[in-house]
Structure 1
């Protein structure tokens, strides 16, 4: 799970990183989920990717 901020709402939410299909900057960061739902967030595409990578590293660290 990763914590993100909705664009123009300042509302934080937690997203299951496993259901992200694509991330685009158009120029806003748009996350498309496997369900087809789109979320627009304040974080940059690079920041979202970094958070997803950190999340996955944390999970795999527990399997060692």
Structure 2
């Protein structure tokens, strides 16, 4: 598996909340650290996603915002 995105984080699927068209997929990448993605229900099905399985969060963004208090 090769991607142009440099941010690839492996984790475990913690939850999948299925809606009418899209699903919210929660991937735990470290204890107490989660990444959430909204993908189509057909993508969940074609990838065979299930709670407890390992998956990658692949993050590709055109910008990253930084903030401080």
Which bin holds the TM-score, normalised by the shorter protein? 0.3 to 0.5
TM-score (norm 1): 0.37
Determine which structure has the larger strand proportion and give its number: 2
TM-score (norm 2): 0.35
Determine which structure has the larger helix proportion and give its number: 1
Highest RCO, 1 vs 2 (Cα 8 Å, sep ≥ 6): 2
